[in-house]
Amino acid sequence: MAGNGGMQPKHSELLAKDVPPAEVVPILDRYLMFYIRTADKLQRTARWLEGLPGGVAYLREVVLDDRLGINASLEAQMQELVDSYFDEWAEAINNPAIAAKFRQFANTDAAVDGVEVETDRGQARPVFWPRDAAEDDFKGLAGRWSTTAWQPVLEAAYFAGADDAPNGLSATIQRGDTQLALFRVKGRYYCTQQMCPHKRAFVLSDGLVGMDPPADGAANGDGAKPAAAPWVSCPHHKRNYDLADGTCRNDAALSIATFAVEERADGLVYARLPPVEELDAALGTTKWRVAKGEGAHLEQFADLDRKLHFKGQRARRPGVRPHTDLGMRRPVQLIAAAAGGGCGSAPEW
């Protein structure tokens, strides 16, 4: 016990031998609980043991001979830990309130695949990023809709506590085949497309929201220019989009669509959206989902497989001998072989 790797590796030391099977677990319980109760935070067991008065001999007296008279307490404390254990994921699945937090969309139980899947070397994986970004003028869509209308999209209660959070709260909502990102930051709502056009990933609601510092005097309410709108940074490749107008602050070729949004007295959040047919034609998941064959690195493994003549799962069959001598040899043997082969004398280490 009390061995560890790291910058100062240390072999484990023998705590006890010839222990009856029925006593193994209680001894381990005492040892672990004694460590938990007396070690410093993040202290490795080897360093902890070195700091005990008398080292491993003292530890034996404590957990085997009950020198301090605390063994019953140590076992009871370990039992308390064991009794308090529960499977957090099973709890999440069985608790409707928690499970609801893992829905893809906040306004529906539907689920949509945002990327196609293909098989590579016998395993399924998402297709590679597309070669080119979607440089459509998404920002300009605001002036091209035939008509728009205010529509309820989510209960305002979803954003309870948003104003107390440094970066607010966000939600992903679905309308037709389109995914939208909804934000509440510092008392204001924002609505954008969910897709980051850089690699066509539907992830903006999961991005980091940032805010520029207020203009001089704005904090004092003296009529100075108000602070700029917040921006969301795509969690994949950090393209930063203005939540108010959709401009990409660090890539002029990109932009996102934005929509007016407000909370009303009926307890719902409303967004001003175009007809669903127009919305899907411009921003629909089916339209922008990355498909097979679009990947920028489609051939990166295929070229290697051709070079290595790879044909699927490989394993050594009984009786198959290697083509060359692959046996393990000591470094001194390799050095001697090199020296004897006309490569000069062996180096002095």
| pLDDT attached to residue 249 | 94
Lowest-confidence region among 138-142, 198-202, 300-304, 327-331: 327-331
Task: Give the mean pLDDT of 215-226.
Answer: 55
% of the chain residues with pLDDT over 90: 62
* Sequential DSSP letters for 273-292: E--HHHHHHHHBHHHHSB-T
pLDDT at 300 over 50: yes
Q: Which residues, including other chains, have CB under 8 Å from residue 115's CB and lie 6 or more apart?
A: 126, 127, 201, 289, 290
| pLDDT attached to residue 236 | 95
Q: Is 174 left (phi over 0), alpha (psi -120 to 50) or beta?
A: beta
The model's pTM: 0.65
Instruction: Choose from 4-13, 218-227, 262-271 the range with maximum mean pLDDT.
Output: 262-271
| pLDDT attached to residue 66 | 95
Q: What is the mean pLDDT of the chain?
A: 86
- Number of residues assigned to the chain: 349
- Cα–Cα dist 96/50, whole Å: 49
Question: Three-state DSSP class for 132?
Answer: coil
| pLDDT attached to residue 26 | 94
CA distances from 248 to 188, 225, 242, 255 (A): 20, 21, 6, 5
| pLDDT attached to residue 100 | 81
Q: Where in the chain is the domain with CATH 2.102.10.10?
A: 131-288
CB atoms within 10 A of CB 50: 13
Task: Give the mean pLDDT of 148-161.
Answer: 97
CA distances from 295 to 112, 119, 131, 300 (A): 20, 13, 6, 10
Task: Give the mean pLDDT of 245-257.
Answer: 97
pLDDT at 189 over 60: yes
| pLDDT attached to residue 347 | 46
pLDDT at 239 over 50: yes
Contact 156, 268 (CB under 8 A): yes
Query: Which CATH superfamily hosts domain 131-288?
Result: Rieske [2Fe-2S] iron-sulphur domain (2.102.10.10)
Task: Give the mean pLDDT of 220-240.
Answer: 79
24: DSSP letter:
H
- Cα–Cα dist 240/198, whole Å: 11
pLDDT at 247 over 60: yes
Q: What is the token pair recorded at 127?
A: 């297709």
What confidence tier does 346 reach under pLDDT thresholds 50, 70, 90?
A: very low
pLDDT at 34 over 60: yes
What confidence tier does 121 reach under pLDDT thresholds 50, 70, 90?
A: confident
What confidence tier does 102 reach under pLDDT thresholds 50, 70, 90?
A: confident
CA distances from 346 to 326, 332, 335, 340, 341 (A): 22, 9, 6, 9, 11
